[in-house]
Chain A
Amino acid sequence: MMFLAPLLLGGLVFASAPLIIHLLNRRQFKLVEWAPMEYLKLTLRTNRRRLQLEQWILLALRTLLILLLIFAVARPLLNANAGASWLAIGGRTSRVLVIDDSLSMGLHQGGTPAFDRAKEEAAVAIESLGTQDSLTVVTTSRMSDPLQRDTPLTADQAQQLADDVRELEPSETANNWAATLAQVVEMLEGAAHTSKEVRIITDQRAEGWSADASEQARRLAEMGVKVTIVNVGNPSPGNAALIELEQTTGVALANTPVVFTATIRADGDPQWSSRQATLIVDGNENPLELPDLAPNQEIDLPIEWSFKEAGQHTIELRLPDDAMAGDNQRSRVVNVAEAVNVLLVDGDPSLEIRDGELFYFNMTLSVGAVPINTRVMTDAEWLDAPGVGFYDLIVLANVAEIPADRAQQLYDAVEAGTGLMVFMGDQVDPDSYNNNLYANGEGVLPGRVDVGEAIDAEGLIVEPIDGSVLTPLGGLRQSLLAQIVPLKTAPIELDEDDEDVQVLARWNNTDLMPAIVQKKIGRGTVLLWTMTADRGWGDWPTQGSFFIASRESSLAIAGVGEEAGNLTAGEPIRQAVSTNPEPSAAKVQHPGEDTTASASVDRDNARVVYGNTGQAGVYRLTWDKLGSPDQQRYFAVSPDARESDLNRLTESELEQVMSGVDLQIVDLSGEDTGDDRAGREIWRTLAVLLLAMVIIEACFATWVGREH
């Protein structure tokens, strides 16, 4: 038997108090010279056994009372062998055991990581399970893939499952308790028994306990589910975390410096073992000196690297060790291109190149040091293609209509990092744009557009926004911007509450109508120009300022698309593949492992999907393609930076979140003692026993104290 507060067991010495009091009472007596001694002795002789028995029972009761009290406050834990199952009240129960294997569970403080304690606690819980109960065991990183699903276990099966649990490794995922509890609710809705219990073993970090979790808790309460939360978290030490490794350069090109920004945050004193980080590029380690990092400071560290060849490269940054190694590394897949790939979709093509909708725009991309590959398609050709294609930038100019499915593909591409520019024109059907591209704010368009109308404006006003893609225009003389005179513009109605939408430039008229509007979606950016890309609605495309604006903004928003393969732990790998024919096999090799796992082929969306990405590192996906060598692509999975926030939820906050639930919180946190302190808390049973003992003692003492 283990105790959560073993120091309090020192109080067991008080168990001798009744005996001491009894002996002291014997010293507090009156001496009486007695005459009828014969009758007194006769009485005592005939009653001695009864008197002694009563005294011993009373002494035993009082000693037991104190023992129980000390045991209860020392919070004993029983495992199955110690009778936890016997003490457990209730019949057949469907039990769900949720093991938090998020990144923060890897935290250790000179002792056992929280996850090791969690595994042992879970293993003991499994071993102490009654054979009449059915059990589901899941980890938070793989809720949809339980280790065990609602089945009763024999003793051997339970032992095997406990051994499997002991072999688990923590993931680098973040917790989303609302989603986790929602899945627990689903599991329990179809559970075998009416009595239901959930045991969650976690480090009780505040991150992930959103208000939505309360809604799921309410559902659990309605189902009458008993919830036990076992807190195995270590105290929060100082921790340094690499919370971001961003590719600052939009498109990585061969032999061109690519800039990355590493964001490092210290919570408390990180107590690094050294000041040297390691930058690993394509498997080759390079030392990297770190600047000083004060406690609770966040720094952006620029890292520059030139890749010699085009293709997929991997870059990984590892900080020195600290108490939580999981968030000290991040990796990226860098898709180094020979040139920036831009697709120009001409909605009003012409036989005469100069009359083409994107003639001027194309010109702006064809000069300069950065190699840019442009492909021009008519809108009809583009709409006939199976997808939006793999481009760093897609430019739609005066395209009349965008079907809903193509609008969705555009959205997915932008979300994955592809840049998108939309120029208006006379052919544009506002209804199609608003219904499919704007889609009530859910699409790529930053606002509701209307047909073009004449505008009386003189010049362009660039909004002073930090990091605006139009910043280069700020370096121009105002007279150059004043020369920009639009003839028509497409009015746009913006949703002012949408923080992802910004007006970067306005026409200089009385209404200051938006000229260029930006919308951020996921990793991508959309720029809507409320003008045409040709001279249809003004002659700005013929001016130098347009050259600068269009080229610089193109290079700024041109990004890597879905194929870039930079993911957060737990985010599924999705790789578009040819389905004519579809791959017969797709395999994923996990970081640092030689074995591979099978990925599934999603025929409907023409892609391969693999969900088990809880571990951070570089994954290699391979699939076969008819008539071609096996295809391969790397995916860099980084830890979820949210897990670096080590603030903990207090018991009262947790009770508030789980309001209404029959909740028990077991605290196994604190300094690691090296003990196996896992099992079932029995303080409630002891409390009931204690109350019963108090009543029994009082009744018995009254009975003994009566006249005999």
Chain B
Amino acid sequence: MAERSPLLDPDILARITPLGLKAARVVEGSITGMHRSPMHGVSPEFAEHREYSPGDDVKNLDWKVWAKSDRYVIKRYEEESNLRCTLMLDCSRSMQYAGKNAGKGRSKFEAAATLSACLAQLLMSQRDAVGLITIDTKPRHVLDPKSTKRQKAQLMDTLETTKPGGETDLGPVILRAADQLKRRGMVVILSDFLCDLDNLYDALGKLQHNGHEVIVLHILDGEEIDLSFNDSIIFKDIEGSEEVFGEPWAFRKAYKAAMEEFIEQVRSRCQFAGIDHVLVRTDEDMAQTMAQYLHRRQRIASSSAGRGQMGVRK
């Protein structure tokens, strides 16, 4: 039995595991039968039952179980995947910032890595395939989505060993990474998005266009949003050499307004593109933030099911 990764935060797992993470749209392999196995003629190996959820094809229902227990369950097979999720983790220098009020002293990168690990754990517990791409100036590590235990160990190891560094221009790098995603699925991008936003929006549009469901976890430290310093500060560009002297109280309100405008801009652009945008503040309870988000997804999914519609974007 492999050693449990320190990145697996039990608080977060406890909150998000019951909620699960389901695709909001039909993706390849999410419905048994639509996923045409490449190993044609070979019987797939039964893996497990899982609860029927709206969108599942009724022909995959295990009628025997229904006959015995009056429960609708779907038969899952080893080679079958409901969801292929790729975690894109920003590991640029800007992600190494850790404010004094950050939860458990985590830097933004550590928070992003923790969230990545917990999401991977959640998805894999759902037998979904999870992949990982770490990016700074280029995709650093690329793990194609799989749901194997080995994959999980590899993914955790990558998350634990990766150190943030180097500059980033997130947009072009995501574009390059998007080209490596052969099959449609879910893409979760974890970054502070302190980059050229126009390029970023182009990259997100490209992912959308390729049929991926994109979730943006916008990770920022509380100090970066509130500028909650009480001393005179020399701000040194974390990815450059520029230095600026300032007394934060003298322009805190203006700065906060600028940051809120930036967050709101990213949120609204994502919303416009049908991308989920979750602001994750490292100084707030990340478990709560993620649980709220997943709960909201669940509610939206339920209401869509009630209307008998899938969350398919035209």
A contact residues around B235 at 8 Å (CB): 32, 34, 37, 40
A86 within 8 A of B: no
Q: Are B238 and A34 in contact (CB under 8 A)?
A: yes
Q: Mark B219-239, 1 if CB is under 8 A from A, else 0.
A: 000001000010111111111
B142 within 8 A of A: no
Give the shortest distance, in Å, between B250 (CB) and chain A (any CB).
Answer: 5
A contact residues around B15 at 8 Å (CB): none
Given contacts A34-B236, A37-B238, A39-B259, is CB(A29)–CB(B245) below 8 Å? yes
A30 within 8 A of B: yes
Q: Mark A664-708, 1 if CB is under 8 A from B, else 0.
A: 000000000000000000000000000000000000000011111
Give the shortest distance, in Å, between B85 (CB) and chain A (any CB).
Answer: 27
Q: Mark B258-272, 1 if CB is under 8 A from A, else 0.
A: 110010000000000
B311 within 8 A of A: no
Our pick among A29, A34, A44 for the contact of B237 (Cβ within 8 Å) is A34
Our pick among A29, A34, A51, A704 for the contact of B232 (Cβ within 8 Å) is A29
* Complex Cα–Cα for A411 and B136 (A): 123
Q: How many A-B residue pairs have CB under 8 A?
A: 92
Q: Are B234 and A54 in contact (CB under 8 A)?
A: no
A contact residues around B94 at 8 Å (CB): 35
> Which of B231, B237, B245 has the most CB atoms of chain A within a 10 A radius of its CB?
B237
A584 within 8 A of B: no
Q: Are B232 and A28 in contact (CB under 8 A)?
A: yes
Our pick among B224, B234, B251 for the contact of A51 (Cβ within 8 Å) is B251
Q: Mark A16-45, 1 if CB is under 8 A from B, else 0.
A: 000000000110111111111111111110
Give the shortest distance, in Å, between B293 (CB) and chain A (any CB).
Answer: 23
Given contacts A26-B245, A29-B231, is CB(A36)–CB(B250) below 8 Å? no
* Complex Cα–Cα for A686 and B232 (A): 34
A47 within 8 A of B: yes
* Complex Cα–Cα for A705 and B253 (A): 12
A contact residues around B231 at 8 Å (CB): 28-30
Q: Are B245 and A36 in contact (CB under 8 A)?
A: no
Nearest chain-A residue to B237 (Cβ)? A37
Q: Are B255 and A43 in contact (CB under 8 A)?
A: yes
* Complex Cα–Cα for A47 and B275 (A): 34
Give the shortest distance, in Å, between A248 (CB) and chain B (any CB).
Answer: 89
Q: Are A705 and B249 in contact (CB under 8 A)?
A: yes
Q: Mark B85-124, 1 if CB is under 8 A from A, else 0.
A: 0000000001101000000000010000000000000000
Give residues 132-182 of B contacting A (CB, 8 Å): none
Nearest chain-A residue to B232 (Cβ)? A29
A46 within 8 A of B: yes
Q: Are A708 and B97 in contact (CB under 8 A)?
A: no
Given contacts A33-B97, A41-B244, is CB(A54)–CB(B232) below 8 Å? no
* Complex Cα–Cα for A47 and B251 (A): 7
> Which of B95, B229, B233 has the most CB atoms of chain A within a 10 A radius of its CB?
B233
Q: Are B236 and A707 in contact (CB under 8 A)?
A: no
* Complex Cα–Cα for A41 and B234 (A): 12
Our pick among A31, A35, A40, A706 for the contact of B192 (Cβ within 8 Å) is A35
Given contacts A704-B250, A708-B253, is CB(A37)–CB(B240) below 8 Å? yes
* Complex Cα–Cα for A704 and B247 (A): 11
Our pick among A26, A28, A30, A47 for the contact of B254 (Cβ within 8 Å) is A47
A contact residues around B232 at 8 Å (CB): 25-26, 28-30
Nearest chain-B residue to A40 (Cβ)? B235
B70 within 8 A of A: no
Given contacts A32-B234, A704-B250, A708-B251, is CB(A44)–CB(B194) below 8 Å? no
Give the shortest distance, in Å, between A319 (CB) and chain B (any CB).
Answer: 74
B contact residues around A39 at 8 Å (CB): 255, 258-259, 262
What is the interface size of chain B, counting residues whose CB is below 8 A from a CB of the partner?
Answer: 32
Our pick among A25, A38, A46, A706 for the contact of B194 (Cβ within 8 Å) is A38
Give the shortest distance, in Å, between A69 (CB) and chain B (any CB).
Answer: 26
What is the interface size of chain A, counting residues whose CB is below 8 A from a CB of the partner?
Answer: 28
B242 within 8 A of A: yes
Q: Are B97 and A54 in contact (CB under 8 A)?
A: no
Our pick among B233, B240, B259 for the contact of A30 (Cβ within 8 Å) is B233
B246 within 8 A of A: yes
Q: Are B253 and A36 in contact (CB under 8 A)?
A: no
Give residues 68-117 of A contacting B (CB, 8 Å): none
Q: Are A32 and B233 in contact (CB under 8 A)?
A: yes
Given contacts A29-B233, A30-B229, A31-B236, is CB(A36)–CB(B254) below 8 Å? no
Q: Mark A465-509, 1 if CB is under 8 A from B, else 0.
A: 000000000000000000000000000000000000000000000
A contact residues around B236 at 8 Å (CB): 31-34
Nearest chain-A residue to B240 (Cβ)? A37
B contact residues around A46 at 8 Å (CB): 254
Q: Are B254 and A29 in contact (CB under 8 A)?
A: no
B252 within 8 A of A: yes
> Which of A26, A35, A44, A704 has the most CB atoms of chain B within a 10 A radius of its CB?
A35
> Which of B224, B251, B259 has the most CB atoms of chain A within a 10 A radius of its CB?
B251
Our pick among B108, B229, B233, B258 for the contact of A42 (Cβ within 8 Å) is B258
> Which of A25, A38, A54, A705 has the most CB atoms of chain B within a 10 A radius of its CB?
A38
* Complex Cα–Cα for A708 and B227 (A): 12
Q: Are B234 and A35 in contact (CB under 8 A)?
A: no
A contact residues around B233 at 8 Å (CB): 29-32
A contact residues around B108 at 8 Å (CB): 35
Q: Mark B182-197, 1 if CB is under 8 A from A, else 0.
A: 0000000000101000
> Which of A25, A47, A705, A708 has the most CB atoms of chain B within a 10 A radius of its CB?
A708
Our pick among B229, B250, B254, B258 for the contact of A54 (Cβ within 8 Å) is B250
Give residues 572-618 of A contacting B (CB, 8 Å): none
A contact residues around B237 at 8 Å (CB): 33-34, 37
* Complex Cα–Cα for A410 and B56 (A): 148
Other than the given A26-B232, A32-B233, A38-B194, 20 more pairs (CB < 8 A) read: A28-B232, A29-B231, A29-B233, A29-B234, A34-B237, A34-B238, A35-B108, A35-B194, A36-B224, A37-B235, A37-B237, A37-B242, A37-B244, A39-B262, A40-B255, A41-B244, A46-B254, A704-B250, A707-B253, A708-B254
Of the A-B pairs whose beta carbons lie under 8 Å apart in the complex, a sample of 24, sorted by A's number, is A28-B231, A28-B232, A30-B229, A30-B234, A32-B233, A33-B238, A34-B236, A34-B237, A35-B192, A35-B238, A36-B192, A36-B259, A36-B262, A37-B237, A37-B240, A39-B258, A40-B235, A42-B258, A43-B251, A43-B254, A51-B251, A54-B250, A706-B249, A707-B253
- Residues of B bordering A, CB below 8 Å: 94-95, 97, 108, 192, 194, 224, 229, 231-240, 242, 244-246, 249-255, 258-259, 262
* 9 A-B pairs with least C-beta separation: A35-B94, A34-B235, A33-B238, A43-B255, A29-B232, A37-B237, A39-B258, A47-B251, A707-B252
- Residues of A bordering B, CB below 8 Å: 25-26, 28-44, 46-47, 51, 54, 704-708
